[in-house]
Amino acid sequence: MSNPAITLEGFETLSDDWYVLRKYRVRHRRRDGSEQSYSREAYDRGNGAAILLYDPARGTVFLTRQFRLPAYVNGHADGMLMEVPAGLLDSDAPADAIRREAEEEAGFTLPAVEEVFTAYMSPGSVTERLHFFVAAVTAEARTHAGGGNAEEGEEIETIELPLGQALAMIRDGRIQDGKTIMLLQHAALAGLIAPPCPAP
Whether pLDDT at 2 is above 80: yes
Q: What is the pTM of this model?
A: 0.92
Which pLDDT score is estimated for 149?
A: 76
Question: What are the tens digits of pLDDT across the range 67-100?
Answer: 999 999 999 999 999 999 999 999 999 999 999 9
Instruction: Output the pLDDT for position 151.
Output: 72
Within the chain, what is the greatest distance between any pair of CA atoms? Answer: 69
In this prediction, residue 147 has a pLDDT band, given cuts at 50, 70 and 90, of confident
Is the pLDDT confidence value at 196 over 90?
no
Q: What is the DSSP string of the chain?
A: ---TTEEEEEEEEEEESSSEEEEEEEEEE-TTS-EEEEEEEEEE---EEEEEEEETTTTEEEEEEEE-HHHHHTT-SS-EEEE--EEE-TTS-HHHHHHHHIIIII-B--S--EEEEEEESSTTTB--EEEEEEEE--GGGB-S-----GGGT---EEEEEEHHHHHHHHHTTS---HHHHHHHHHHHHHTSSPPPPPP-
